[in-house]
Amino acid sequence: MKRRDLLKAAITLPLLPLLMRSGTALAHGVGTLATSLRSRLRPGQPGWPAATEWEQLKRQVGGRLLKLESPFAHCDAAQPDSTCAQALKHLDNPFAVGDNPALTQTSGWADAWTSQPSAYAVAAESTADVVAAINFARQHHLRLVVKGGGHSYQGTSDAPDSLLVWTRRMNQVSLHDAFVPQGCAAQMAPQAAVSVQAGAMWIDAYDAVTTRGGRYVQGGGCTTVGVAGLVQSGGFGSLSKNFGTAASNLLEAEVVTADGQVRIANARTNPELFWGLKGGGGGSLGVVTRLTLRTFELPEFVGGVGVTIKVDSDAAYRALIAEAVSFYQRALFNPHWGEQMKFYGGDTFEISMMFQGLTLQQAEQTWAPFLDWVHARKDCRITKPFQALAAPAQHLWDAEFLHKNLPNLIVSDDRPGAPRDHILWAGDHDQVGWFIHGYQSAWLPASLLQPGRQAQLVQALFNASQHWGFALHFNKGLAGAPADAIDRARDTATHPQVLDAFALLICANGGAPAFPGMPGAKPDLAKARREATAIDQAMDAIRTVAPDAGSYVSESDYFLRDWQQGFWGSNYPRLAAAKRKYDPDGLFFVHHGVGSEDWSADGFTRLRGG
């Protein structure tokens, strides 16, 4: 595909002078050239830490140094070991996947990356463990990777031949009635907050803050996503249209920077580091070990609505799309509503939306005009009846309540002895271990909802639907949110387009898990490439009305060319300055992360700077 050819060219051209000067040194990562570029070392190369040095690190971290191997490494043996059997048994359980330092929640991406474990991992249980790992990686010129939840679609949660800082075991959650960031007593009043360690998942935070604490914290919709990674990427949840982004609600962070120093980052202390952590992307500026987020009063009710509609003709689909867009602008473009409208198959429309601050009766009344319009047309058929549900907001992530009242909405961690609160939404279940074929996103400006532009938007949505399905995620655009939520988000590194976007359009697809070595792990690459092409074509149609649309860093195209502009827009120069200040030698590297343009695609060879 054209984008892949350009990607290869972009990677290869900067290397040509180096290849001409010293092909051998570059190939092996050693010698004068490698030293001048401060290339990172791989196992077996001169300078790779000796066994005694690894043993010294192991003692330093209390024995918590793990030598990693894929659980599927011996699946093809005459008698596969129990490790393989257990991994296969729990392959659809994201809690089990997350508890294995050798696995990631995505198994790979066609023509991009495949999930491969690091050489070693420090299973950190304290900030001191993180410091030891960072110092060891810096001193020995190792490729460093950080993983909490392991949900990165871009493959930033793993890298072969690397040292992994695995924070999963750092998962404590603490509530505060009156929190003031360090050094901010004169500027900020005490406020309710929650402190969360880096390895905690959002279900850990939700159970403590909402189910047991009766408050609300803005986090991610998928309960198994790591708190730290989501905050650093920006962070949207179902109710972000009212409460803003996770990053915008960060009050303070503890972070270990590349020099091994433990720093507090807030509005007064290390303010540029603090700003960069709020949406600048995880794994680029340091290893976050603790975050403190503001909490809010709970609304009285939260709920959801759903309906699926099929049409009989292209003309009917255009009319349905036009009515849906108009209805959204008239009735849903406000802080009460979030989540998705889905368009797929060229003839199918699905609503899967959530609301807060309304009663069930109010929600049903809101949707009545749209349903009346559908019922009045003979070329539209409701194939899944409209349903609306509401419950007290404190039960939104209450496992006991959901098991009793809405068991079909959730899936539990089915391992013996698993915490009862460890649940995920059934709609997220098919992404566990998935292999991505294509994934793209675009912020859609609210100006497209103006009456004079709706027809253009409708035509673009219809044209896109003829190539591939997509969804409008209304909670992932802050236009229509309260002014205070927008103001908080303005003071983050997230792309400024989010402030005036009514939705994030996501167009994607993937296949079954395909971890290397896993029995039957043979992704259909020809099919994946066809689907990636169709996704390209769908997004081309969308960009006729949003030609300069940026993309959400956590949900975006691996092959995005102008990723600095696409992810961060005018914020990138400031992020790059923070990177130079806190990580001048580029210890922290992730694909398309801040400063990654200075390195080869695998993060092992420095191409410039330093």
What does the alpha-carbon distance between residue 200 and residue 224 come to, in Å, rounded to a whole number? 9
Q: Read off the DSSP letter of residue 266.
A: S
- β-pair partners for 310: 348, 381
In terms of phi and psi (left: phi > 0; alpha: psi -120 to 50; beta: otherwise), the region of 272 is alpha
pLDDT (tens digit, 9 = 90+) per residue, 253-286? 999 999 999 999 999 999 999 999 999 999 999 9
Structure confidence at residue 599 (pLDDT): 96
pLDDT score for 29: 35
Query: Is the per-residue pLDDT at 80 higher than 90?
Result: no
CATH for 385? 3.40.462.20
Whole-angstrom distance, CA of residue 345 vs CA of residue 325? 18
Calculate helix-pair angle for 314-327, 454-465, nearest 10 degrees.
130
Residues 6+ apart with CB under 8 A from 487: none
C-alpha span between 31 and 228 (Å, rounded): 38
Q: State pLDDT tens for residues 134-181.
A: 999 999 999 999 999 999 999 999 999 999 999 999 999 999 999 999
Q: What's the rounded Cα separation, in Å, for the pair 533 and 440?
A: 11
Q: Is 514 within the bounds of a domain? A: yes
Which run of H or E residues covers position 354? Answer: strand 348-356
Is pLDDT at 6 greater than 50 in this prediction?
no
Q: What is the C-alpha to C-alpha distance for residues 585 and 610, in angstroms, rounded to an integer?
A: 6
Question: Which band of pLDDT confidence, cut at 50, 70 and 90, is reported for residue 30?
Answer: very low
Cα separation of 556 and 508, whole Å?
A: 9
Q: Is residue 390 part of a domain?
A: yes
Provide the residue range defining the domain that includes 349: 301-397+426-565
pLDDT at 353 over 80: yes
Nearest to 238 by CA among 255, 226, 221: 221
Neighbours of 524 (CB within 10 A): 15
**Residues comprising the chain, all counted:** 610
Given a cut of 50, whether residue 22 has pLDDT beyond it is no
pLDDT above 60 (res 34): no
Q: How far apart are the first and last CA of the chain?
A: 34
Q: Would strands 144-147 and 163-166 be described as parallel, antiparallel, or unpaired?
A: parallel
Task: Please give the pLDDT value at position 5.
Answer: 44
Dihedral angle, C-alpha 555, 153, 588, 219, nearest 10 °: 60
- Does pLDDT of 77 surpass 70? yes
pLDDT at 24 over 70: no
Q: What is the structure's pLDDT at 11?
A: 40
DSSP-assigned letters across all residues of 408-421: GGEEE--STT--TT
Percent of the chain scoring above 90 in pLDDT: 91
Query: Phi-psi bin for 161: left (phi > 0), alpha (psi -120 to 50), beta?
Result: left
List the structure tokens of 263.
């720093």
**pLDDT (tens digit per residue) in 187-228:** 999 999 999 999 999 999 999 999 999 999 999 999 999 999
139-156 as b/e: b if 16+ CB within 10 A: ebbbbbbbbbbbbbbbbb
Give me the mean pLDDT over the 465-479 stretch.
98
Q: Do the bridges between strand 250-256 and strand 287-294 make them parallel or antiparallel, or are there none, so unpaired?
A: antiparallel
Which residue in this structure is represented by tokens 């609210």?
446
Tokens 């509005």 label which residue? 267
**Distance between CA 483 and CA 244 in Å, rounded?**
10
Write the DSSP string, 373-435.
HHHT-TTEEEEEEEEEEEEEGGGTT-HHHHHHH-GGGEEE--STT--TT-EEEGGGGGGTT-E
- Asked if residue 380 belongs to a domain, the reply is yes
**Edge-first strand listing for the sheet containing 191-197:** 173-179, 191-197, 287-294, 250-256, 262-265
For the record, the structure tokens of 151 come out as: 């949900």
Q: Residue 412 is encoded by which pair of tokens?
A: 């539990």
From residue 537, alpha-carbon distances to 8, 463, 544 in Å are: 21, 9, 11
Q: Kindly report the pTM of this predicted structure.
A: 0.92
Residue 317 in any domain: the answer is yes
Q: For 299-346, list the strands marked E by DSSP.
A: 301-311, 337-344
Asked if 216 contacts 244 with a C-beta cutoff of 8 angstroms, the reply is no
Residue 228 in any domain: the answer is no
The model's pLDDT over 409-463, given as tens digits with 9 standing for 90+, comes to: 999 999 999 999 999 999 999 999 999 999 999 999 999 999 999 999 999 999 9
Which segments of 248-314 are extended strands (E)? 250-256, 262-265, 287-294, 296-297, 301-311
Is residue 351 included in any domain, yes or no? yes
Residue 256 in any domain: the answer is no
Give me the chain's average pLDDT, please. Answer: 93
Task: Please list, in sequence order, all residues whose beta carbon lies within 8 angstroms of the beta carbon of residue 474, skipping any fewer than 6 positions away.
Answer: 241, 328, 332, 337, 338, 339, 340, 341, 353, 502, 503
In total, how many domains does the chain have?
1
Looking at the domain assignment, is residue 588 inside a domain?
no
Give the mean model confidence (pLDDT) for residues 51-78. 95
- The confidence band for 610, taking pLDDT boundaries of 50, 70 and 90, is low
Q: Can you tell me whether residue 18 is helix, strand or coil?
A: helix
DSSP annotation string for 446-490:
GGGGSTTTHHHHHHHHHHHHTT--EEEEGGG--TTS-HHHHHHHH
**Which residues have CB under 8 Å from 64's CB, separation 6+?**
58, 122, 123, 124, 125, 129
Residues 6+ away with beta carbon under 8 Å from 9: none
Q: Buried b / exposed e across 241-268, counting CB within 10 Å, b at 16+?
A: bbbbbbbbbbbbbbbbbbebeebbbbbb
Cβ of 537: how many Cβ atoms within 10 Å?
15
Q: According to the model, what pLDDT value does residue 375 have? A: 98
